[in-house]
Structures are given as C-alpha cells and as structure tokens.
Structure 1
Amino acid sequence: MDNISHPGRRLLYDSLGDDEFRLLSIDTSLGPQPSDSELISCSLATFKRSEYTGALDGERQETARLWPGFERINYDYSSLFRPKRRLKNYTRLRNYAQTLSHRQIIRPPQLNDHGFRYELKNRYIALSYVWGPPKPAKAVMVNSCEVEVRENLYTALLELRRSDWVRQGIKIWIDTLCINQEDLDEATRQVRSMRDIYMNAWQVVAWLGPPLPSTEVAYAAVLWLARHMETGDRFKDFVQLYKGFLTNFNMWSIRTDPYLLWRPEVFSALRSFFANTYWQRLWILQELGMARIDALILCGRHCASLQDIFTAAKLISICEREVGSHISTVSGLFGQRQDMVASKDRQFGDDVSTPARQWGRILQIMKMREQKYFATAREHQAAALPAFELARSANTTDERDKVFGILGIFCISQIASITPDYGLGLSETFIAFTRDLIRNNDLTILRLVHHAVGDVTLKWKRFAPPREFIPGKMPLGPNWSVPQFPRGRREVTPPCSHQLPSWVICWVCSPAPLVLLPSQYHADHGLDNLQSSRTGQGATILRVVGVLTDHIATLSAFNDSEADPAYPWNCDDARNLPNSYGDLSGLQEALWRTIVGNSTSSGEQPAPASWAALLGSHLWNPRGFNSPRSLGLGFGLGAFMARNKYLVLGGYRLSELIPISATYLLIHGGLIHGGRGPSNQSTSEARFWASNVLAWRRLVGTQNGRVGLAVAAVKEGDAIFVLKGCGMPMVLRPTISGRWTLVGECYVHGIMNGEVLEDLERGRARTMNIEIE
C-alpha cells in the first residue's frame, strides 16, 4: 500500500479489496518506557485477511495469554475488608485474605503453554474501546502524516506502545484508523466483516480508559472474586461466614440488610467500574461476543481477563442481597438507598438512566457467547430478544448501528439476512430490519414493540431518606439535599418522532424500562393451519392472520405518580364480569401466576408451585417490612395494593383476592417483630421478580373474566389477539381507517398454551385478517 504522504498533509487511503484490511504498527524505537509526552508514530499498511487467520491449530484453546510488559501489581486483598474494631473474627479473615494474596502463581505472560515465545507473525490485536467526545483531540503520526484522534484512543495507544507484544512487532486493528471513515462504501463493507475481524484476532484488548482513584480497589475486588472465590457455592459460604448488617429505621419498620464485610469504598469502586461508559457501548455486544474468553480488560495498567469479569459478575448476581444491592448504580436524585426492586433503573425522572444492575448486562453478553444452534427459527428469535434489548439501550455514535452493530451476534445472524447499508436513512433502516425479521411469518420480534405511554403527573415532594445504622458509626441523619419536584406533567416515553408504522421497532426511542419476560410462550400453538386471504406486508402495512380472543375491561395504575383518576379503571359492570377460572381459588392462582408471567427470572416456566406464597397478605401490606416505602414510583407489591385495592378482576376486587385484616397488620405489619412476616428465600425471590415484572405494566381484567398483564399504554376496550407466528398475545387498537395499531404484548393467563383453538371451536373467539399500520 503506497499511502505515505508528506508531513502536514492529510492521510490518504487506497481502496480495499474484499479480502483486505489495514493494520497499524506502532513505532517502539523510543525505548522500553517512552515518555507519554513523546509523539506516537505509527505505520498503516494493507494485508489480506485470509493470511491473518487468528491462530495456529489449537492456539485458541491456549490459556494465560495475558498482558505482558508491565510490572505486576500485587493487590492486597486483606485491605478490602473492614478494620478489626468493626469485625468479628477479623484475625481469621485477614489471615485468609493475606494467604490468598501470597499464593498467586504467575506464569510469564509472554510465554505459551509449552514455554516458548509466541510466534507473532501474521497475528494482530483488535482494540475494543469507546470513541468518547471529539474534543480535546490529540495528534499522532500515521505514515508520516499528522492525524487527529480522540483522547481515549490516544491514551490507549500510549499503553499499547509499552506492551512487549507490540515491541515484538504484533500489529493492531483499530476501527478509527484502519477504516477510511470518509468512504461510506468502505465503511459499509468493513462493518460487514467486523465479526470475522474480532473472531480471528490473536487477542482482543478492551480499553476502559485511564485509571480513576478507585480503579485499583475495583480490580482487586474483581480479581479476588474471580480467582479466589471462583464458584457460587464457595462465595455464598464465605459471605454467610463474614457478613454484617445495615439497620435502617423509618416510621413504619426496622429493616436490616446483610452485606459482605468489605469497606464501603470497595462497593463504591465496583459501582464506578460497572458504570464505565465502555459497558454501555453497543459494539461490545459483537466484539466481546467474538473475542477469546481471556480477552484483556485494561484500565490504565490494571488488567483482568474477560473470564475474570464474567466470574465476578456472576458471583455478585448470586449474592445479590449481600453484595449486589450495595453496588447498584442508582439515581443521583435519591442517593444510594433505593428499593432492591430494580433490574433496571426504575426511578422515573433520572436523566442519567444508568442501569442499576450493570453486571447483568455483562452476564447477558456471556449468555450470548454460549448460545448454540437451535432447531427452529422461533427458538433463534426467542434467544435473540435479550440481545435486541441490550442493543436498544446501548450507546452508539451512528444510530443505524443499533441494527448494523448486532448483525454479527450468532443468534441474530441466524434470523437476519440484511447487510449493513449506510446509504439508507434511519427510518428506512428500521423498517427494512423489522420486515427482514418477520419475512418467514415469525412475529416473535413484535414482543419488543410498545406504544408510547404518554405523560403522568408528578406528585413528589421533598423528603428524608431512611436513617441508616452502620456498625461502629453513629446513625446517619436526614439528608435534606434531595431536590423538591414541582407538580406537573412528565412524559414516560415520548411518541416516536421517526414516523414509523406501529409494528416497526424504533431502536432510538426507547419504551418505558420494563423488564423483558424471558420465557418462550406458545399462545399460537395449533394455529399453523390458519390461512389469510391477504398475506405479506406492504411498505408500511403488516398483514397477518390472528384470533380475536378478548377485550380489556379493567386496568390498574402502574405507578404512584399516575394521578389520573381513571386508574384503577373499571368498566361500568366490572363487578358482574365472569370468572373464567371457575372459583375464587382458581382466580387467585391466576393472579399470582400472572404477576410473574408464570415464569422465573431465569426464564424457567412455569413458575414453581411454592410461589403461591405471593398471595401472602404480609407481602401486600403497604406499611410492612416486606413492602418498604419507595423513593421513586413505588413498584413494590405493597405500593401496588395501596393504589389498586379497588381494581376488579373476574368480579372480585384486588383487596378481596388478597385480604389484609387489621389484626394481621398489627402483628405482621411493621410494628412488631421488626415488620418481618413469614418469609423464606423462595418467597423473597418470587416477590422481587413479581415487583420487577409489574413495573411499567398494568394488571388487567378482560371481558371474559381472565387476568392479564399488559404494557402501560393499553386502554379499556383494546382488543387482545393471538397472532399466527407470535407466542405472546398482542394488544391491538382499531383506527378510523379500519386497520389496527399495535399497542404491545399482553400475558393472559389461560390462553398461553394454545387454548384459543378450543375457544374457536366453541365460538368464543373468531379468526380475522388483520392489517396493522
């Protein structure tokens, strides 16, 4: 490649062939430890991708391909724990932690498993990083031309230059420099090859940026979890042996929360680590999905492997109450105390919108890596739903990359046939992608479509967070720095501005942050023989065939701030609605199974029978220990009962389905026994999952006496359809043109396994050809 120009001139790029890409070589002639102020000089050349296959036979199975060239950082794991005066069994714990620190066995990282230096010819490193803001820009020399790069890439190049790999001549692939960003055709072709580029890289290096003051503590905690706890059983035993309690007082109850006896700054450091903007980046779904499991996660000179990060995230998730809940990144509006009910940040009004369980995103990436080939397209569609949800919430510079950046993920590549085309506009891209996903009459992707919710009235006032006791400290006083919210209207999710049909997913305008139901449902089972007289779809019209099964009659209020007197909304004859489940006990079972989507958080279906404990009145007591007051919208079961006790389902009020007597309130409601009602681990898991599922959804009753759970945008009179090709019932709303608008999905207990066939035979439902606009 002859693209060397004179100093001061713009870098010129030659055209790339189909089997070609560019690689960067960093000049290391300045010595083993060059100054950061010395100019970075690089050369860029073109190579055939087929000559860079990533590794020799069996080399991808090698382990310990760790980052060479830096002094080893010896982390003192004993410093993670609280000092002696606050810790029982402190000597035993400190000695244990120090033993872990001294027993580490480090293999020379520049040597392979056979003791020989790696052969770095025809090898390259792929860099994964966040572009960051365009200013301030830094100058580097590429082929004797001065090129401006963003600051985050500049700091990454400084660290790469110190590596023994680079000093031995290994080359680097960096999208900003190796792709001509001004050539739209080249960018399109290179994006199509991104999956292969990261899969065939000798190693992938993820750059989190320069270190923060908390970085060393965060890496020490991650490595301690990953390399010395290792398994969930071992970590749970350790936590049970060395845990403390935070005691929180409020006007209703005394609440104690267990926690691992780490120093407070350890939880804070991990919170900062998981909130790094790198984990929010869209392209990591593909880059880390294709990388080796020992890909390097660098922050300054601190290094951990991707496997280390995954293992630490898994352990944090396993011990959610003792560890995870104290790491959660929460809204700055409400401080560090919030309900544990949060798989996403559910505090409406938080403009930062940082997910509260960020390690869950990392675990989902790991799950995508492990997915295998499924037998049917529907199974691939169901497996792809979490990946789509990750993509929709991720950050990217070009909004079209919300689609193009996930095409290389295995489960998506099995169902999507389009290729990146940056010549298409944003709306055209979204329409083409949704149409491509449903081309084989598999409508599973429609589960991600949610109609705009509109606005609600804020009723927040200034308040004091709960007082908190920490062992060895005085109780914290009220924090009056929480801002006062003026009354007024706020949009939950603004209407989409991209003029898309209701059946097309907008990857930019996100819906309300409801949690995805992970189970694969089969409401359309047995509908394969349904025939439509008008098949296919036009440019903006989706034509499908389905079964009209029911209509929505009653709706709950989905948050505390919803001051509209229409909710809970009950139709005029709500008390005369039938009960399709036979008797009261059948209706109660339908209720508890509906509020968890008849599934568990892991996607297991049906929910275990032991979760019938969700009908326990102590869980629905608005002032009980199990229903702590929410600082935000109140998505707990107690808050739900407080605003929806008059909701009618199957002819019964919610307060009649789950009666709470005055005597029970006195004994179990928070004034006695610290507010602790009957509880166990299974009940606790069920309660938290139910609260997450209910968040941003409405509990609904139907005209035929069924119980359902629908998106917040539904209204009385909306129709419930089971569409051929979609395992989840969908809510549709008629338009003045005679067509329909797609509102969103709706779990309806009693029709989730093909029961609509019986309804058709008995005349309680009818087949329709549907046009959705």
Structure 2
Amino acid sequence: MQQKLQYRPLLGQHDIRVIRLLTPVDDPVHATGPVHCEIVHVALGEADVIANAGNATKGSNGTWPVSVDTAVDSQSKTSQPTGFNELFEKSLVERMTPLANLPVVPYFEGPSCLRESPPKVGDRTVTAWNPSQDEEASLPWRYTWGDFVALSYVWGDQSIRREIIVDGIPVSVTASLEGALRELRHHSRIQQGFLLWVDALCINQEDLDERSAQVAKMKDIYQAAWHVVIWLGPDENRSDLATLALRYMSLHSEDEDVLDKLYKHVEFYVVRLPFMQWKHAHTSLRIRKAVLNAIYHLLARPYWRRLWIIQEVVLGSRNSPVICGNSSILLKDIFNALRVMKADGDALGQYIIFAAKGSSKTHQRWNFVAEDTYGISEKLWERPIAITALKFFDLDLSALHNGVYDCLLVSREANATDERDRVYGILGLPQIANTIQLIPDYNRTAPETFILFSARLLASGNVNGLRLVNSPIPAIGTRYYKSTHFSRPRSPKLIHDHRVVHRGCEHGLPSWVICWSCPRNPAQPFLDRTRSLSLLALPPTTPRITDDNVLIVKGVVFDTITTLSACHATESDKSYPRSAPEPPKSAYGDRAATREALARTLTGDFESKSDNASDSENPDLDNPSLATAVMHPTIWDMGINGIDNNIFGLKDFYQRNRALQLFDGWTLDSLVRDLSRSADIGRRVKESARARPKILRVTMAHREALTQAMRALGWRRLVVTSTGFLGLVPAAAREGDVLAVVGGCDAPLLLRRVGGDGVGDGVEEKGVEIGKGRFQVIGEAYVHWVTGREIQERVEGGVCKVEDISIC
C-alpha cells in the first residue's frame, strides 16, 4: 500500500513550500532512475530578502542557458543557430555539395560554467555541473534561504501516473510532471541550487482552505520566482525541428523581407515572341514539410490551451525558457516567430495545418458542428500570441479598460478541470488584479463564483463582459448535396440531418453574468477597437445590481432591427432571410456609398494594410482596398479556391440571401452586382474594350478580404435597422430586438425586451418606446456608423436619450 505524503501546515503569511530536486551534483545516481526531491518550507517576506540583493546575486543576469549551438555567418559576422539548412528544401546542387564546416559558438552568451551541456540518458551524454567552475559562487542568493523557479506545465491525463520519491516517500504524479522533473535535474540552474515551486506538490490539494489561500498567492509566487520555466512535454514529432524553425523566424522577424526568406519565387517565359508572350510564375514554400508538421504539433500541444498557463506566462520573464524534451527556446523567440506566422496566416499558417492534417481537415476550419476546430484554424497560432501579448502589454492605468476584455477572451477559450478556475486562474493577471478584488474560495459553487466575479467586474465600471453572452445559434442542416460545377455554383440541395450548433447558456444565470461552464459562442469576437464607444459622454455612474439580480446601467437605446439575413447557408428555419414589410431608405446615401458601407459591415470594418490602395487605373486588379476586394462579384459567385470551398463561403451566404431586400429598391443581389451599371451602355462598352481578364486575378487583398468577411459573418446575421443602417448581430437575433450602447462597453449590444417595469422612460420611435422595460442581453453587435461621436450627436439632437437600462 502506497504511503500518503504528509504536509506540515503553512503557518506564516508569506510561507510557501518549494522542492529541492536532487541532481547528479548531489549523487551521480540521480542522473538516471526515479526522480528524488525534498519539500522545503520557505518565506517570501521582505525580511527574507538579502539587503544587497538589488546589486548582484546568483542569476541576477537573468540568463537561463539554452542548449543550442550557433554558427558565425561569414557575411553578416553575426552568430546564428546552426542547422538552419535542415529547415529548407535543398536544390540538386546543394544536395551534391557538402556543407562547409563552420566555427561553433554558444547560442546564449552567459557564464561559461552555466552553458548547457546536453545530458545523455541511454544514448545521451550526461555532464554534471561542476561547482568549482561556478563564476557566481561568490555571489549571494536573493533570499536568506536561496532562490527558486516556478514550473509552468500541463497536468495531462490524470490516469497516466508515474512514481517519484518525495522526502523518501513514493508519490504518484502525472506523467507530465514526472517528465518535467526528470529533464530539469540535468539543467545547470537547478544543479546550481535553485529550488522549484510546483503546484501539484507544493500545495496540499486535498485541503480546500489551503488550496484557496495558495491560489490567491499565486500571483505573488510567480512574480517572486527568479524565472518561470515552461515545460511543453517530451520530445515528440520532431520538436527539435520546430524550435529551430521558430528560432529562425524570430531571428529574422524584424527583417522587411522575412517572408521572402521563407518562399521561393519562380518566374520564366514559356513563350517570348515579339507579338506573343507567355510568362509562368509561381511561389512555393522553401520550408520542408517535415518542419511544418513539427511546428504544427508543437503549437497543438495541450499546454497552450491550459487555463493556468495564462497567469504563469504573463507573470514570468520575457526570457522565460521553454523546454520541450531536450530542446529549449526563449519565450520571446516563440512570440516573435508567431507574429511572423500571423502576418501570413492565410498562406504560411494554412501550409502548416495542411502539412499535418491534409486538405480535407483544413477546409473544415469554419465548421464548428463536426468537432473542435482549434487544431485546424488560426487559433493554433493566435492563442499563444494572445497569451504572450498579455505579458508584453504595457499596463497603463489611464488606458481604456486596461486590456481586461483580452484577458476574458483568452480565459474563455481555455481548458480547466475545475470550472471555478476559469475565474480564479486569471485573478493574478495585472489587468484583472488592478480591476477586481476577489479571494478564491473553493467552498463556493461554480454559479456563485460566476455571479460574484461578474458583479465585481461590473462594479469596477467595466461592462465588456456583456459581450461574452452565450446566446444560442439556431439549427442548421449538416447533410446536403452541393454541386461543384465550375461555371455556375449552386446552393446546397437535399438538406437534412438538422442539428443545433450552440444552445447558449443553460444554467439559468442572469444574462449579465459570464457563464464559464458553457462552451463559448463560436462567433469570432469583434476585436478592432478603432471605433470604440468610449467617447460617449455618459454620466460617470457605476452599474448597480438590485436585490432581484437586475443590472441597472446607464446607456442609450438607439435603434431597432427590422431586416435579418439567414445566419448560414443551410439554416433550418426557412423563414430566413426576412425582409422588412417597408424597407427603409439607405442612411448612407447613394448606391456607391451603400456598397462601401456593405463591404465595411461584412468585414467588421477591419483595418487592412491593403486599404492604402494604389492610384492605378485598375485598382480592383492591381492593389484593391479591403472594401473593393470583398465586393468583387466573382468572389460572391465562385469564391476563392482553397479558402471558402466549403459551406461557409460568401458564395453560399449569397445564394441563401441574394433576394434579401436590404433597402427600398435595393436587394443584396443588386448591391453586390452593382446592377445599376448594366444600364450604362457606354460604360459597358468602354470596359469591354480594355484588356481585362475575365477570371478574377486573385491577390492577397482578395484573400484577406474574404477571410475577414467569413470571420465577421460566421454565425451572425446581416441586418438592417429601422433607420436604414447596416449591422452584424448574433444569430439569435429577432425582429424587434433593439441596439444599445452602454457606459463601459466598447461595442454596441443587442438587447431583447422581456417585459417588466423599466426604470427609464424610453425613446419613442414609430409610436413605440424602444427603451422601455427590462432587457435580456443577446450579445455584441456591429453597426456601421456607431461611434461615440455619432451617438452623442443623436443624444444632443433629441433623437434618443441617456437613461437607465434594466438587464435581467
């Protein structure tokens, strides 16, 4: 029978437990075999800090040696990691020519005694750290008892267990933790004497009171640690190649031609005669498929989706080491490399997914019904970027809402064993800690925790949590026949097997409460803050919650929805799309301005680098703006192969909603095709005389426009308001739902009247007081015109008023 580990209580306010990991320096027997460690009680109080620790202490240079060799570039005279040639496809000449022997120098400059010597277990050489060569031997520790690092890792499958020895007692831990400790005992900083904090061993998980107290201290623990060491797991799927590739992209991330280094451009003339020329051009990726596959599996590891790593990564150092098997890399290198990938996500990112999953899976990235799409979508690189971006976030107390919404988004998509940890796991983030004061208590139920967290967030004046409401998504048909005829694509036929995509929150919580138990709504959030509503001059009041759990918040109800599109090409409810009985006039003016507004709405007014179009004669072909590119009729007819050749493309949205009457006299079809031009015979003749290709010349602007439109439209409805404005709203929207802006929220909200006595007097529109009564939040919305200035002008003009809005 296995003996149970006995914990001594933590008595002092600053007391924590750490472990001393036994290494080959203590005894050569620890180079292999079971992991041995000892639990040590230490304190993090000011009295335990050495007085001169602000000068030079062990590890004060901040370096954690990385076990990678580099070579000196003969041209730039700079040191670069060796092995980069392994990343790229070789030409025939390169394969026949042996590589020159280049001098090798350490990748990470630091004390010579601390340069990593890759240990060997089995076929791996183990070189123990030599204390006699310690250049920091004469330096003191930061604390009277020494110093420590904190481990960030994913617990992994709880059923797969390994045994380690703690204080002479065999203890069962997860295989992930055992692997991390087994690897760390060979690293020089641990051999130098740095202790280790690990949540699974240093917290008595069975004592709920201690667990609550220690979780509340985790912010202080990770900030006090000399380094946060990130353990991704054992060496699998050539993770050494992945770290090498990420380091290469990081090394060149500041180069203007960084992407050109990853691609091979080929151009040659097939035919070149005086009156006939045929030029062939194509671009291919130079990186080997094996490298792309390795990058994919590194980014797809469960670590990046674990909830607690958000706080652990953010509170660590920019030079935090990331260890994966025998390979290691700095966190800042991963961040720089992923930014390169994000800049070319529709090309480089999809190459990576395609290399590991193939074309069939890659094309399903918009299908939230079949399975979890994390591993086949842009989330693969966007989530690690979002986490590390929180770390590099320049916290400014005067900044708009301090990035709290970003923290909520990252936490919303994380995986946690205990639902309450979705709240407790982000309390230590600087953005949250400066906004909310909440002490973890595992004696509370999950619903009680969610209500308390939302109430505290609202009390701080930040109302952005209302944007994360879990509203349902109607059923769609998941089995259908779809013609793939090239010249005239057809809408899906024979649709059956109707399934509900998302049921919304089913826990009976008020709509102002963020429910962390339900799966997130699959619609992509509106992240562009260029049109923030913070300029709205609302009275400086704090939202309040009544005894019957009704939220009272200052805001403006400014419009009503009258026209709604179908949210999906195979939406089961055949009554969609729904046109208003009396379509309004376009509030944007003439057809050209309305088409521009439609394009901006379809992309959520995404700001693109392509928006600075050239002044060429044919901007649609040469360098189209995002708005111009997304309105090209060919995209709506046929899409772009490789991006929207599934059911979620613009062409499928168009087939379902082409007859939708958006405005008086204008349908979606007439605006997309710009049918007014058909009567302009002179223009048609003039254009036909130009040497314009009849097939769309696809540019990066077209691909970017289509991708942004698909992200903005996904699981949303295109709507027209009663005053003639276009917008995007959640799929749960109905006729009569109202649009409102509230103080402390950066996006308009879609509200639904549920009856009851309203606090405000409402605004009369066509004989109906649209601000009267209690409301339920349906979700965030986008309306093309709504900024703080326009809302303020409406209030000053008496069109609408600032009032108390009751949300239940």
Structure 1 residue 570, shift from structure 2 partner: 1.3
Do the aligned residues in 2 keep the contact of 1:66 with 1:294 (CA within 8 Å)? no
Do the aligned residues in 1 keep the contact of 2:266 with 2:282 (CA within 8 Å)? no
Structure 1 residue 145, shift from structure 2 partner: 2.1
Q: Secondary structure, in 3 states, of the residue corresponding to 2:417?
A: coil
Do the aligned residues in 2 keep the contact of 1:594 with 1:709 (CA within 8 Å)? yes
1:17 is the counterpart of 2:12: yes
Matches within 5 A, 1:196-595: 196-227=220-251, 229-241=252-264, 258-328=283-353, 335-338=360-363, 346-351=367-372, 353-354=374-375, 356-357=377-378, 358-376=380-398, 378-380=400-402, 383-460=403-480, 487-520=496-529, 521-523=531-533, 525-529=535-539, 536-538=545-547, 540-574=549-583, 577-595=584-602
Q: Secondary structure, in 3 states, of the residue corresponding to 2:382?
A: helix
1:189 is the counterpart of 2:202: no
Do the aligned residues in 1 keep the contact of 2:111 with 2:135 (CA within 8 Å)? no
1:91 is the counterpart of 2:117: no
For residue 163 of structure 2, the aligned residue among 115, 127, 139 is 139
Q: For residue 162 of structure 1, what is the aligned residue in structure 2?
A: 186
1:769 is the counterpart of 2:801: no
Do the aligned residues in 1 keep the contact of 2:511 with 2:807 (CA within 8 Å)? yes
1:702 is the counterpart of 2:721: yes
- AA matched with 1:224: Y
In 2, distance between residues paired with 1:360 and 1:770?
A: 35
- AA matched with 1:549: F
For residue 79 of structure 1, the aligned residue among 83, 86, 93 is 86
Q: For residue 172 of structure 1, what is the aligned residue in structure 2?
A: 196
* Residues 78 and 730 of structure 1, relative CA distance in 2, 3 Å threshold: same
Listed one character per residue, the Cα deviations across residues 721-752 of structure 1 (whole Å, up to 9, x for unaligned) are 22233342211111144521111111112232
Do the aligned residues in 2 keep the contact of 1:26 with 1:43 (CA within 8 Å)? yes
For residue 725 of structure 1, the aligned residue among 735, 744, 747 is 744
- AA matched with 1:238: K
Do the aligned residues in 2 keep the contact of 1:295 with 1:306 (CA within 8 Å)? yes
Q: For residue 251 of structure 1, what is the aligned residue in structure 2?
A: none
Listed one character per residue, the Cα deviations across residues 211-254 of structure 1 (whole Å, up to 9, x for unaligned) are 11422222222222233x24242412313556899xxxxxxxxx
Do the aligned residues in 1 keep the contact of 2:640 with 2:703 (CA within 8 Å)? no
In 1, distance between residues paired with 2:156 and 2:100?
A: 39
Do the aligned residues in 1 keep the contact of 2:586 with 2:594 (CA within 8 Å)? yes
In 2, distance between residues paired with 1:35 and 1:464?
A: 61
Structure 1 residue 766, shift from structure 2 partner: 4.6
TM-score (norm. length: structure 2): 0.79
Matches within 5 A, 1:93-132: 105=107, 107=109, 111=113, 116-117=135-136, 119=139, 121=141, 122-132=146-156
More contact order relative to length (CA 8 Å, sep ≥ 6): 1
In 2, distance between residues paired with 1:330 and 1:557?
A: 34
Listed one character per residue, the Cα deviations across residues 525-575 of structure 1 (whole Å, up to 9, x for unaligned) are 44424989x95444521112332211111112222231321222212223x
Do the aligned residues in 2 keep the contact of 1:126 with 1:173 (CA within 8 Å)? yes
Do the aligned residues in 2 keep the contact of 1:722 with 1:730 (CA within 8 Å)? yes
Structure 1 residue 440, shift from structure 2 partner: 3.9
Structure 1 residue 68, shift from structure 2 partner: 6.8
Structure 1 residue 426, shift from structure 2 partner: 0.5
* Residues 448 and 243 of structure 1, relative CA distance in 2, 3 Å threshold: farther
Fraction of identical pairs, as percent = 28
In structure 2, stretches of 5+ residues that fail to align are 72-79, 116-132, 269-279, 487-493, 613-622, 757-772
Structure 1 residue 28, shift from structure 2 partner: 2.9
Do the aligned residues in 2 keep the contact of 1:522 with 1:752 (CA within 8 Å)? yes
Q: For residue 479 of structure 1, what is the aligned residue in structure 2?
A: none
Listed one character per residue, the Cα deviations across residues 466-505 of structure 1 (whole Å, up to 9, x for unaligned) are 9xxxxxxxxxxxxxxxxxx993222221232322111111
Do the aligned residues in 1 keep the contact of 2:606 with 2:708 (CA within 8 Å)? no
- Report which stretch shifted further, 651-660 or 548-557: 651-660
Q: For residue 716 of structure 1, what is the aligned residue in structure 2?
A: 735
Q: Secondary structure, in 3 states, of the residue corresponding to 1:570?
A: coil
Do the aligned residues in 2 keep the contact of 1:231 with 1:315 (CA within 8 Å)? no
In 2, distance between residues paired with 1:117 and 1:676?
A: 68
- Report which stretch shifted further, 612-621 or 313-322: 612-621
Do the aligned residues in 2 keep the contact of 1:257 with 1:321 (CA within 8 Å)? no
For residue 620 of structure 1, the aligned residue among 635, 654, 662 is 635
Do the aligned residues in 1 keep the contact of 2:624 with 2:701 (CA within 8 Å)? no
Listed one character per residue, the Cα deviations across residues 68-101 of structure 1 (whole Å, up to 9, x for unaligned) are 799999863222222435xxxx639999x97889
Q: Secondary structure, in 3 states, of the residue corresponding to 1:272?
A: helix
Structure 1 residue 680, shift from structure 2 partner: 4.6
Listed one character per residue, the Cα deviations across residues 186-216 of structure 1 (whole Å, up to 9, x for unaligned) are 1112112212212222222111111114222
- AA matched with 1:567: Y
Do the aligned residues in 2 keep the contact of 1:70 with 1:163 (CA within 8 Å)? no
In 2, distance between residues paired with 1:101 and 1:654?
A: 65
- Greater CA radius of gyration, 1 or 2? 2
Q: For residue 61 of structure 2, what is the aligned residue in structure 1?
A: 62
Do the aligned residues in 2 keep the contact of 1:69 with 1:162 (CA within 8 Å)? no
Listed one character per residue, the Cα deviations across residues 324-367 of structure 1 (whole Å, up to 9, x for unaligned) are 2211379969634428xx6xx65431146436222212222232
In 2, distance between residues paired with 1:33 and 1:218?
A: 32
- Report which stretch shifted further, 388-397 or 656-665: 656-665
In structure 1, stretches of 5+ residues that fail to align are 1-5, 246-254, 467-484
- Report which stretch shifted further, 257-266 or 384-393: 257-266
Do the aligned residues in 1 keep the contact of 2:412 with 2:520 (CA within 8 Å)? no
TM-score (norm. length: structure 1): 0.83
- AA matched with 1:528: L
In 2, distance between residues paired with 1:439 and 1:331?
A: 46
Q: Secondary structure, in 3 states, of the residue corresponding to 1:620?
A: helix
Q: For residue 673 of structure 2, what is the aligned residue in structure 1?
A: 659
- AA matched with 1:642: Q
In 2, distance between residues paired with 1:458 and 1:285?
A: 35
In 1, distance between residues paired with 2:400 and 2:541?
A: 19
In 1, distance between residues paired with 2:799 and 2:630?
A: 30
Structure 1 residue 120, shift from structure 2 partner: 7.6
In 1, distance between residues paired with 2:153 and 2:257?
A: 34
Cα RMSD, aligned residues only:
4.1
Aligned residues: 717
Q: For residue 36 of structure 2, what is the aligned residue in structure 1?
A: 41
Q: For residue 658 of structure 2, what is the aligned residue in structure 1?
A: 645
Do the aligned residues in 2 keep the contact of 1:331 with 1:353 (CA within 8 Å)? no
Do the aligned residues in 2 keep the contact of 1:601 with 1:689 (CA within 8 Å)? no
Do the aligned residues in 2 keep the contact of 1:77 with 1:98 (CA within 8 Å)? no
Structure 1 residue 25, shift from structure 2 partner: 0.8
Q: Secondary structure, in 3 states, of the residue corresponding to 1:335?
A: helix
Q: For residue 783 of structure 2, what is the aligned residue in structure 1?
A: 748
Q: Secondary structure, in 3 states, of the residue corresponding to 2:396?
A: coil
1:630 is the counterpart of 2:645: yes
Listed one character per residue, the Cα deviations across residues 580-613 of structure 1 (whole Å, up to 9, x for unaligned) are 22322332222122222223279x99xx994331
In 2, distance between residues paired with 1:562 and 1:243?
A: 44
* Residues 293 and 444 of structure 1, relative CA distance in 2, 3 Å threshold: same
* Residues 366 and 712 of structure 1, relative CA distance in 2, 3 Å threshold: same
